Amino acid sequence: MDDLGIVFLSELVGTALLVLLGCGVVANVALAKTKGFNGGFLMVTIGWGLAV
């Protein structure tokens, strides 16, 4: 049986990476003065898909 602490830590790191990458794409599309500004929903969808 796996150690519960390692399982918890791996879930925590995985969720943190998912949120970091996904919300980073949304921030890139929404914030002015970024290369992805006004990129549209397709850019957000592809970014979230790659994050997952």
pTM: 0.76
Report the C-alpha gap between 29 and 40 in whole angstroms. 7
DSSP letter at 34? Answer: S
Q: Mean pLDDT per segment of 10 residues, for the chain of length 52 residues?
A: 87 95 94 92 92 86
pLDDT of residue 31: 94
Q: Which amino acid is at 26?
A: V
